[in-house]
A and B are shown apart, each in its own frame.
Chain A
Amino acid sequence: MNSKGRVNLERVSILLLDGSPLGMSILAQIFSGFGARSLHKCWTVTEAKRLLTENEIDLVVLNDDVDGEPGFEVIRWLRRLDKNPNSFASTILVSGHIKRASVQRTRDCGANFLVSKPLSARIMLERVLWVSREKRPFLETADYAGPDRRHHEATEVENLGRRRADQTPGGGAPMTASGMTESGRTDA
């Protein structure tokens, strides 16, 4: 991320969903600091759904646990909203530790990005910029609606290997370092 680049969230309509006062304050401080002026704070899943049906929202940032309710259900619901432009809204799901049993459900909810806590302003801004630039088409199947998951963030590998495909220009897709999760976390 170029620190001398500019970011403009002044006209971006952002929905924040978090059930805890501290969690909401963290999100609000981060996005206010980024210069966002239109923050819609929702404390419950019901409130978020109502707001999403009544207002135009450009970016949804939500916690995966909203007072015991799974926040990712909002994204799943949103992606299935017929004839509502918000169903394509960019979404960032913010999550603490995820239990093994929930990993797949979380991954498959249709979010554009999953950011692991603890949050940092830098990581969040990187993800917002990334999400704003992405061009992945949406796909809809019987059990999934959201950005195409066959996505790789291309990163060129500096040292090419010895395999012929690696050495041939256009001889295969570049190796990628991809991941839908962003976290500074390392095991304790």
Chain B
Amino acid sequence: MSAVRYIPNMSRLAKAMTGPGGKLVSEAIADADAGLKLLTPPGIGAIDEALDTILATMATPGPLTAEMRETVYREANKINSTGALFGMAGMGKAAWSLCEVIDLLETDLPSGRPAVDAHVRSLRILRSGELLPEAEGQALLSGLASLLAHVRTEAARR
């Protein structure tokens, strides 16, 4: 059995946060949100750039290579990480689902390429989809959830 040493918590954070001054919690959140809003134009630009890279990568026909998977995963994770911050929550969810699918594809699955293709097409539709009624956007995300469930089942059988 390995030795365990307990040490009292010596974090300085609580002490540094005491004292007069500061802001109301509501003000702090509002100020942070206002700052985040300033980032919307570059944020949307970064999301578009990530989507373009995904589309270019997936333009190559045939089986998904490890390099393709890695690129799509990395770029999808960027969209997942920021979509909701910049008013693209649907894209964020679709991108998260795509990350899950790619992670499951570490084992080669028959549904691999079609599942990734479906996610990529959905991302494109959601991005160009200011005209897409909300209900249809939700239906699209529900479809991706079903697809992800299918890939999970398939991966669990392997």
Contacts and interface: CB of A to CB of B under 8 A. Distances in A.
A32 interface: yes
Contact of B28 (A35, A59, A137, A147): A35
B25 A5 contact: yes
A163 B5 CA distance: 36
Contacts of A141: 2-5
Majority DSSP secondary structure for residues of A touching B: loop
A31 B84 CA distance: 19
A162 interface: no
Contacts of A164: none
B28 A187 contact: no
Contact of B6 (A56, A122, A124, A138): A138
A131 interface: yes
Nearest to B38: A29
A185 B96 contact: yes
B128 interface: no
How would you classify the secondary structure of chain B's contact residues: helix, strand, loop or mixed?
helix
A118 B35 contact: no
A138 B10 CA distance: 9
Interface string A99-130: 11100000000001000011111101100000
A69 to B, nearest CB: 14
A79 to B, nearest CB: 10
What is the interface residue range for chain A against chain B? 35 or more
A81 interface: no
B36 A29 contact: yes
Contacts of A148: 6
A11 interface: yes
Contacts of B28: 7, 33-35, 121, 125
B93 interface: yes
A141 B9 CA distance: 16
Interface stretch (B39-47, B51-59, B60-68, B108-116): B39-47
A132 B17 contact: yes
A2 B31 CA distance: 16
Contacts of A23: 81
Contact of A139 (B4, B42, B100): B4
Please provide the 5 A-B residue pairs with the shortest distance between their CB atoms, ordered closest to farther.
A33-B32, A8-B22, A29-B35, A121-B32, A33-B31
9 contacts: A6-B22, A8-B17, A13-B16, A29-B35, A29-B36, A131-B11, A137-B7, A187-B96, A188-B96
